[in-house]
Structure formats: structure tokens, C-alpha cells
Structure 1
Amino acid sequence: MELAQVIGFIGALIIGLVLGLTGGGGSILTVPVFVYILHINPVTATAYSLFVVGSSSAVGAIDNFNKGRIDFKSSIIFALPAVIAIFSTRKFLLPAIPDHILNLGDFELTKDLMIMIFFGILMLLASISMIFKKDKTCSEDSGSESNPINLLMMFLGALTGIVTGLVGAGGGFIIVPILVFLAGLRMKEAVGTSLFIISINSIIGFLGDLGHLQVDWIFLFIFTLLSMVGIFFGIYLSRFINSQKLKKAFGYMVLVMGIYILWKELTASGI
């Protein structure tokens, strides 16, 4: 086994560990691990990430289901347009994007570069959400008992599906605030419902790739299994560690990684 692969598998454990400790966010490390450590091209990396994120989120969703923390009505309203959007993005939109999008002198915008720039921007947004999240979105008393479902929630579900389809990240940092403020869920219910939505979105998004992607199933299953092992360690350690302080610290790490990805991709492209 090559050194890069060993480091990549260690990365899988860390991804699961962070997810188990903080309840979300670890999945945003998946694409950088695939691209920069394991040298998998970004399109395939986002597909693999969807499988890992979907499988890992399903573990958390099952745990929350057993604790009665999933609101299925909100899940259907949000997930239905999201599922259509993510499947369509992976099946039709992404393959339709040309490998060479734009050429301006020495600068060439390729599909891979576009994905990584978009992903870097998403990491910056995710880090801001983790670092500066208001206390009321972390409180069990957030939201109300009412569950006002409206067209805005469906629209945001579709938008989240497109973003998830393009970059292969679960989007929990987007979904949880939507469920709290629009669906009126308490924070723990929002997290559990978010994991359920992410697991459905990600797996169906991955299925959209199967017709035009060569999958290394053995590698993918090993990576996913290690990520799940990391989740169980994270859930155990979360009993002894303040998860909110940890999430803020992780947010700073994601911020640095997002800046690094943008710097690396833009300088490599000649900007």
C-alpha cells in the first residue's frame, strides 16, 4: 500500500471523528483528501465524497431516528426538490459542462478548476458558519413548535441539491439553519433531520454518477468503513469534549484550508 493511500485512510478516520464529535462539518474534508492526498480528479472525488457523506450521515440519522429526532414532514418538503436537483446535477449538468470552459490568454478555466474554486468558496462559507454561529442556533429552545412549510423552503432545498451535486459536500451547515428558522425545529431535531436529508441526497446524487463513472468499489468501501469507525470514536469522545468549542476550532481549520485551496488552484492556473 502506498504512503499516500495510508495517509488518505487516516484522513477517512479523521473525517468520521470530526463528524462524530461535532455532529457535522467533517464531510467537507472529504474532497480535499481525495484530490490533494489521493490525487483523484475533482469530478470523481465529488462522486466518491457523496457516497462517503451519504453512508456516514446514514449512521448518524439512524441514531437520531432511534431518539425520535427526525421530522419526516420537513424532510419530505426539503428533500424532494433537493433529490431531484442533485440527481439532475450529477446525471446531466455536470457531464454537460465542457472540460475547457473559458480561455483568456494565459488563464484557462477548466471543469476541474471551476469545481475546486467553487469548493474553496463553500469551505469559506462553512467556516464562517461554524465560527460565528449565533447561540440561538445552538440552543435546544431554538425555533418554535410550529412547522410552517412554504415555497421558500422547497426552493432552498433545490438550491442546496445543486450545490451538493456540484461539490460533493453534504451541506449540513446550510440545511440546519433552514430547518431551525423556516421549519421551526429545535436544534437537536434540526441536526437529526439534516443528517437524514443529507444521507438521502448524497446517495441518490452518487447514483446519478454510476452511468458515466468508473468506481473503485474496494477502495471506496474501505474508506467509508474507516470513516464510520471514526464516527463511533467521535460520538464516544463527544461525551468528554465541548462540541461547540470544538466546532469553532474546526471552523478555523476549514477557513485555512479554504484559503489554501483557492490560493493553490488560482496560482496553479496562472492568476
Structure 2
Amino acid sequence: GLVGAGGGFLVVPALALLGGLPMPIAVGTSLIVIAMKSFAGLAGYLTSVHINWTLALAVTAAAVIGALIGARLTAMINPDSLRKTFGWFVLVMSSVILAQEIHPAVGITAAALTLIAAATTLACQRYAHCPLHRLSTRLTTPKAAA
């Protein structure tokens, strides 16, 4: 309840890292909690708000179809690539949220920094002589005891 809708991106790592749950169980637990919150919200609105059931059913059908297609596609996509792409997507969406909630200039700055980071990452993946390779090796290699 503290983080509201979209809190799954905080709950899943917390369950996996702090709770020690395997990732599939952490994801499933998060989805059950989200489903319960959604049903509770729907029950609260049923008595006081008119719901366009045609639109609601269309969105539900699209979500179910998208989930089925996504489940099939996950077998064809490299999990590391999917994880990195999702990370970049989260960064881009955070730029949009910053623009809406704080100021458009803040969102544009965050988007520009995200694009610079993405371009740098892409360039370093393609070229063997990237200075960031030396930096990352220096940061991850343990120093020898003197």
C-alpha cells in the first residue's frame, strides 16, 4: 500500500534479495498481491462509479492476449537482452514521470542523460578499445594483497 500501483518493481527485488525467495516465486507472489489489490479496488468502485464494461473487457482481452504472446516470445529472447531492454525502458519512463511531476526541463535532462548513457553503452559493446572496459575491469577485479 505504501508504494501503490506499480510497486511490483520494488516488491520483487525485495522478496528476492531480502526475503531469499527464488525469482519465479517472488514474481508470482508480487502478481498475486497486485491482483488482490486490483480486485479490492474494483469492488470499492462497483458501488459508486459507472464502469464502461465494453472498454474494460476490451482492455482485459488485450492484456490476456498480450500475456499469451509474451509468454511465447520469452522462449525466443535472450533473458539478458530482455533484462537490459527493460532497464532502459524503466529509465526512459522515469524521464517522462519526472517531466510530468517536477518540470519538463527535468524530464528532458533525464531523457538526454539516458540517451547519452545508452549511446555510450552501445558504442562500448561494439568496440573492443572502449575506455569503459578498462574502468569496469579495474572496478571489478580484486586488488592483490601487497
Q: Shorter-chain-normalised TM-score: which range?
A: 0.5 to 0.7
What is the TM-score when the length of structure 1 is the normalising length?
0.34
Secondary structure of 1:234's counterpart equals: helix
Residue in 2 that maps onto 1:210: 46
Residues 187-244 of structure 1: CA distance to partner in whole angstroms, max 9, x if unpaired?
2221222222221122213322333322111101111111110111111010010233
d(CA) in 2 for partners of 1:213 and 1:247? 38
Q: Does 1:224 align with 2:60?
A: yes
Give the alignment of 1:146-161 within 5 angstroms: 161=1
The correspondence for 2:81, drawn from 216, 232, 245, is: 245
Residues 55-110 of structure 1: CA distance to partner in whole angstroms, max 9, x if unpaired?
xxxxxxxxxxxxxxxxxxxxxxxxxxxxxxxxxxxxxxxxxxxxxxxxxxxxxxxx
Residue in 2 that maps onto 1:177: 13
Give the residue type in structure 2 aligned to 1:162.
L
- CA 250–194 in structure 1, closer or farther in 2 if over 3 Å, else same: same
Secondary structure of 1:240's counterpart equals: coil
d(CA) in 2 for partners of 1:267 and 1:177? 29
Residue in 2 that maps onto 1:259: 95
RMSD: 2.2
Task: Report the Cα offset of residue 181 of structure 1.
Answer: 3.2
d(CA) in 1 for partners of 2:24 and 2:48? 38
Task: Report the Cα offset of residue 264 of structure 1.
Answer: 4.1
- CA 254–184 in structure 1, closer or farther in 2 if over 3 Å, else same: closer
Q: Does 1:190 align with 2:30?
A: no
Residue in 2 that maps onto 1:95: none
Give the alignment of 1:59-78 within 5 angstroms: none
Greater Rg over alpha carbons, structure: 2
Q: Does 1:162 align with 2:2?
A: yes
Q: Structure 2: 5+ residue runs without aligned partners?
A: 105-146
Task: Report the Cα offset of residue 186 of structure 1.
Answer: 1.4
Residue in 1 that maps onto 2:123: none
d(CA) in 2 for partners of 1:173 and 1:194? 9
Residue in 1 that maps onto 2:71: 235
- CA 257–218 in structure 1, closer or farther in 2 if over 3 Å, else same: same
What is the TM-score when the length of structure 2 is the normalising length?
0.60
Flag the structure with more relative contact order, 1 or 2, with Cα contacts below 8 A and sequence separation at least 6: 1
d(CA) in 1 for partners of 2:56 and 2:70? 21
Q: Structure 1: 5+ residue runs without aligned partners?
A: 1-160
d(CA) in 1 for partners of 2:25 and 2:72? 20
d(CA) in 2 for partners of 1:244 and 1:198? 25
Sequence identity, in percent? 39
Give the residue type in structure 1 aligned to 2:32.
F
Residues matched between the structures, number? 104
Secondary structure of 1:209's counterpart equals: helix
- CA 266–184 in structure 1, closer or farther in 2 if over 3 Å, else same: closer
